[in-house]
Amino acid sequence: MSETLPPTPGQPVLEQVLAMLQPLVVWLLRSGVGYTDLTAALKPVFLEAARTELTRIGGKQTDSAVSLLSGLHRKDVRAAAHTERAADVRARLGKPTPASQVMTRWLASDLPDVLPFAGAQASFESLARSVSKDIHPRSVLLELVRLDVVEEADGQVLLRRQAFVPNTSLEEARRLLAGSVADHIEAGVHNLSAGDGKTFLEQSVFADGLSPQSVQQLEQLANSLWRDVMAAMVKAAIPLCEQDEPAGGNQRIRLGMFCLTAPMAPVPPPPPQNNNPQDAPDHG
């Protein structure tokens, strides 16, 4: 008679991570990335994470320690030791381009949806200069016109609010999603496992049993609340960035908000009851 082995300590966490991975696997498959590609790409990620964790806990950086912690074969660890250490891929993700920053400031400000291109105040030129003095406002405008989120005519720039949605064909939209999701998960993982007494904001509200009309009403409320939050954060962040960046500020912050509506998962039917006394188990 076979015995059922007890679950390992990491089994519940593995199941929870798999739940996080399900939508990411959908994205991978839709992008032409399969299982073999993913597992090969994960090796340096596990190796670098193991090295970082050993540093955090004061462990020795030996091949055996890295292999044991990461679960990778020692030959993979040895091979990686002769290559350049993997950079944190998130360092290349999530930072908006100047064009995106201009759009964010415009959306979060009290500026009208139509601005003159030139002018010292309340113009597209002054808005672009507030983001970067190194990039010409005309270059920023051309990029936003290419993205189809603004229009230019007769020296006026029109903001197309209804068009400002993520475009899946654009590299920046994918980078921003990756950076945002990575930071969100890092905040939650830190709260669960860091043990340093610091807790990041990582909360959500959930409701079910709603009609499509109620879901639409709540979704509209969420969008409205986000506009207020974004405006308040941008207004507070701009003077702080202008103050700290020239002095060598080296910290970053990301505040995000998401809203998803979907049908509730179907409830599985209860197992059939055995009403035949002849089939009842024998307890004798």
191-226 tens-digit pLDDT: 998 888 899 999 999 999 999 999 999 999 999 999
- pLDDT score of 2: 53
Distance CA 151, CA 167 (A): 17
Distance CA 40, CA 50 (A): 16
Beta-strand relationship, 114-116 and 150-153? unpaired
Q: How high does pLDDT run on average in the chain? A: 84
- pLDDT score of 96: 78
- pLDDT score of 167: 57
- pLDDT score of 6: 62
- pLDDT score of 175: 82
pLDDT tens-digit series, residues 155-189: 999 998 765 555 555 677 788 888 889 999 999 99
Calculate mean pLDDT across residues 236-265.
Answer: 92
Whether the predicted pLDDT of 74 surpasses 80: yes
Give the pair of three-digit tokens for residue 216: 């639409």
Whether the predicted pLDDT of 22 surpasses 60: yes
- pLDDT score of 218: 97
Distance CA 185, CA 175 (A): 16
Whether the predicted pLDDT of 1 surpasses 60: no
Q: How confident is the model at residue 108 (pLDDT cuts 50, 70, 90)?
A: confident
pTM: 0.73
Calculate mean pLDDT across residues 50-60.
Answer: 91
- pLDDT score of 169: 54
Whether the predicted pLDDT of 136 surpasses 70: yes
Whether the predicted pLDDT of 149 surpasses 50: yes
Nearest to 257 by CA among 221, 232, 233, 223: 223
Distance CA 254, CA 233 (A): 10
Whether the predicted pLDDT of 48 surpasses 60: yes
Distance CA 185, CA 181 (A): 6
- pLDDT score of 284: 43
- pLDDT score of 107: 85
Which run of H or E residues covers position 147?
none
